[in-house]
Amino acid sequence: MPLPRFDRLPAERQEFILGVARHHFAEHGAEAASYNKIIEAAGFSKTAAYHYFDGKEDLLAAVLSGVLGRLLGALGPWVPARDEAEFWSRLDTGASALATHLRAHPDDLALADAAIGHTHEGPWLDWFDALVANGQQLGFIRTDVDRGLLVAVTAAVVRAADAWALAHMQSPAEPEGVAAAVAELDAGKQLWSLLRGLWSGAGASEMDEGSIADAH
């Protein structure tokens, strides 16, 4: 993460530097992006750069942290649902808001999977912990599996589905709007099916397919 001197820069300067870096990482990838070109484009020398970051990996971590924060901001906090239909409706709303954000912010789109993979705990898993806890309280998410494991696997399934959808959104085979719409629709249908299979089992009640269909 940035060194203390970076935090003392004006907020506009911080955002400009991170924005330049984010664009370079999104365009070239974390491995191929040039640290020298990033700091040159940001308007300071390599010597000055080391007053703000320990190096390229430190800068990348700061960029990915910002991306993750915006993804969570698009999702919004998980508000406990009062019943199963409301639960699925809230989940669908959050997923749609996230997809809308990613379509409007191509750099975040390109770095989303890396940002999610960069964190092993913290706010991202906290969001899924609240989600699973709510579903268990409502009685349709299984309780016979360790909750920490269930949360981790749920987050992994959602990450895999998002990566699949993002790849289709970025596909040049179809017009951008069509590809995004098709990917979002297909990912939603398949993700809900995957989650139903993951969450059902011993200790969980049989899910009402009709209520889920009504929520979508």
SS (H, E, C) the chain: CCCHHHHCCCHHHHHHHHHHHHHHHHHHCCCCCCHHHHHHHHCCCHHHHCCCCCCHHHHHHHHHHHHHHHHHHHHCCCCCCCCHHHHHHHHHHHHHHHHHHHHHCHHHHHHHHHHHHHCCCCHHHHHHHHHHHHHHHHCCCCCCCCHHHHHHHHHHHHHHHHHHHHHHHCCCCCCHHHHHHHHHHHHHHHHHHHHHHHHCCCCCCCCCHHHHHHHC
CA of 180: how far to CAs of 31, 52, 78, in Å? 27, 37, 25
Class of domain 4-64: mainly alpha
The full set of domain ranges for the chain reads 4-64, 66-215
Write the pLDDT tens digit of every residue in 147-184: 999 999 998 888 887 777 767 665 555 545 444 444 44
Q: Output the pLDDT for position 172.
A: 56
What is the 3 state secondary structure string of 133-196? HHHHHHCCCCCCCCHHHHHHHHHHHHHHHHHHHHHHHCCCCCCHHHHHHHHHHHHHHHHHHHHH
Give which of 76, 56, 87 is closest to 127, Cα–Cα.
Answer: 76
Looking at 37-41, 115-119, 144-148, which range is the least confident one? 115-119
Q: Output the pLDDT for position 206.
A: 44
Q: Output the pLDDT for position 191.
A: 77
Write the pLDDT tens digit of every residue in 46-84: 888 888 999 999 999 999 999 999 999 999 999 999 999
**Rg of the chain, C-alpha, whole Å:** 20
